[in-house]
Chain A
Amino acid sequence: MKQESTQVLYGLYNDEEVLLHAVKKAKEDHLDIMDVYSPFPIHGLDNILGLTESRIHIAGFIYGLIGCLSAFLFMTWVFTRDWPIIFGGKPYFSALAFIPITFEVTVLFASVGMVVTFYTICGMGPGVDNPTLDDRITDDKFCIAFDVDDADEAKQTVLRQFLTDTGAEEVNVKSI
């Protein structure tokens, strides 16, 4: 993804509740958090971090709508225009009989579309090699990371102090 590497100062916490307090504190102190990493989703974290609500469900709705319309209109076209056949004396345009397939295609388009969108916007995919800060972040550590590329000594000291004060067990610098 990124070409040039970023200098990252990060602290590792042992508990998600300690981390939540730290993030709250960081927001009060107007510290600019680059990202927070955790082994599982932490409830309430997105609000405190000020993340906007994910719009992936809107994308899902649009994909579903496309699937719904294309399935229904395609079947209608086939049976009324392209090759009309009478089945069991029913009308060519048997809207009720089209419902099951329309439903299935709606769900298929919405799901596949959303999953592809999710991996694309997260910059993920088979074989993608995103740098990670610490191997224990997917195990039992919770991490707050600051971008310190442009930070001077004084700023870095403030950040380090903040991390240790809020209960970080380890503070490290790594370029990713």
Chain B
Amino acid sequence: MSAPISAIREPLITGSKTYHTITEDICGPTERTPTTAWMIAFIVAVTGLALYAFSVTWTVWVGIGSWNLNRTINWGWDITNFVWWVGIGHAGTLISAILLLFRQKWRTGVNRAAEAMTIFAVMCAGQFPLIHMGRLWLGFFIFPYPNTRGPLWVNFNSPLLWDVFAISTYFTVSLLFWYTGLVPDFATVRDRAKGLRRKIYNYISFGWTGSAKHWQRWESLSLVLAGLATPLVLSVHTIVSFDFATSVIPGWHTTIFPPYFVAGAIFSGFAMVQTLMIMTRKVLKLEDYITLEHIDSMNKVILATGSIVGVAYLTELFIAWYSGYIYEQFAFYNRVMGPYFWSYIGMMGCNVISPQIFWSKKMRRSILVTFFMSIFINIGMWFERFVIIASTLARDYLPSSWSYYSPSWVEVCLFIGTLGLFSTLYLVFMRVAPVVAVAEIKAILKTAGDQYVGPNIKHDNDHKESTHH
């Protein structure tokens, strides 16, 4: 018998699904010809990708001089985009790892797509430090390999190198975690397919059979990987924040950065998950698996993390004033009132003020509001990184070197290009893999399906109380 579940818990799977209909619903989209909507989206995404390839080639050919960075503002859109993408790449592992440890059942509907999004976002993030090197074919210099220059090693005391390790580890572990979850589902797709398609899915499903011993090991592996990924996900953005926090630049040199960055990362990551989920569930008709309950839960996380970020902004301002240190005070005065005041307003408005509407349950459960909010938050979090990076650098210790920066067309195209890269990868993923974890959904069906729990409970389940309205 399944575990007793409170009757007031909302069901997470609606439409009285059986195991077979779950397979049909989720594997079906990978088997049909793509819809027109998908084709149009794909063409747009690939155009973005082509723009990306063009801008990278341009940057390499002409040199970093094609960007508008200058001696004072030596980090601009590039690092802003890097931190933005890394932040977005935090929700997937948070959903799949931390919520697994917390036994949150609602993670099951969204974890697969969120993890895919994580991996693609980290791929986009990784582009920027590489391009910023200028000679990106020498990118392997960042790894400590035995070389003919001594060997001269990399600086293991540098946060920028910690970043290399953090991001590459994060990418690898997320990929393994995600793929291990996909293997049983690829086997499901394999067993429904014929001919060449079957051969391909047989190759990528690694010969999965569904044996009891394999499932036992698989569950054990997933749990330990989740345990490892939990501190990992917190460490990644902590280390990204060290890029700033360990420098002696007023406005960056603060101990609040690690928790504040991690909260911001989760905040922006969930916003991106919402953006994608709302579109995915509509296009693939997965409303029964990604329900309003899921959207509501994620909006609660957004509200909580958004408010944490808000408290962090105010704490920064207070501490700057309270420190009595004029350079720190000026750095924050400059953020709010300086030449980039508009980005500070964008940040505060999108990240702190607007999510407060999610205190209302009605707003949390409105698809339209959630969709626009998720876009707002993505914009707001981009502004946050821009505020931290560009507005701080623009006013350094020496007024004679103060400067103003706006991006060149190459930098703008690089950013739009990574959006294209991200969308292309996500759209391909939607076509070839089950976007909801099939096996995991089946495993929670009897404790979360609407014929077993919630107001529409079936009467033949006499051991459970039903709630009638």
Contacts and interface: CB of A to CB of B under 8 A. Distances in A.
Interface in A38-64: 38-42, 45-46, 49, 51, 53-54, 56-57, 60, 64
A56 B152 CA distance: 38
Most chain A CB neighbours (cut-off 10 Å) among B19, B204, B219: B19
Contact of B157 (A90, A110, A115): A90
Contact of A140 (B23, B159, B217, B235): B23
Nearest to B239: A100
B221 A56 contact: yes
Contact of A107 (B183, B231, B439, B443): B231
Contact of B213 (A51, A98, A110): A51
Contacts of A125: 206-207
Interface stretch (A127-135, A155-163, A165-173): A127-135
Interface residues of B, number: 66
Contacts of A135: 191-192
Contacts of B303: none
B221 A115 contact: yes
Contacts of A119: 206
A36 B210 CA distance: 8
Given A36-B212, A54-B217, A118 B166 contact: no
A90 B155 CA distance: 13
A107 B228 CA distance: 6
B23 A139 contact: yes
B203 interface: yes
B467 interface: no
14 contacts: A35-B212, A36-B211, A37-B212, A56-B224, A94-B157, A97-B156, A108-B168, A114-B224, A118-B217, A126-B206, A128-B206, A131-B209, A140-B18, A140-B19
Contact of A104 (B23, B166, B225): B166
Contacts of A122: 211, 213-214, 217
Contacts of B153: 78, 82-83
Interface in B73-98: none
A97 B190 CA distance: 48
A114 B206 contact: no
B169 A108 contact: yes
Nearest to B27: A139
B92 to A, nearest CB: 15
A128 B168 CA distance: 28
Given A100-B242, A129-B207, A140-B20, A38 B212 contact: yes
B206 A40 contact: no
A75 interface: yes
B169 A41 contact: no
A95 to B, nearest CB: 11
B4 interface: no
Interface in B179-201: 180, 183-184, 187-188, 190-192
A87 B161 CA distance: 14
Given A39-B442, A54-B220, A107-B173, A46 B188 contact: no
B111 to A, nearest CB: 14
A83 B157 CA distance: 14
A130 B93 CA distance: 31
A165 to B, nearest CB: 21
A137 interface: yes
A87 B190 CA distance: 55
Given A107-B169, A140-B23, A130 B209 contact: yes
B203 A105 contact: no
Contacts of A118: 180, 217-218, 221
Contacts of B1: 17
Given A39-B188, A97-B157, A108-B172, A103 B235 contact: yes
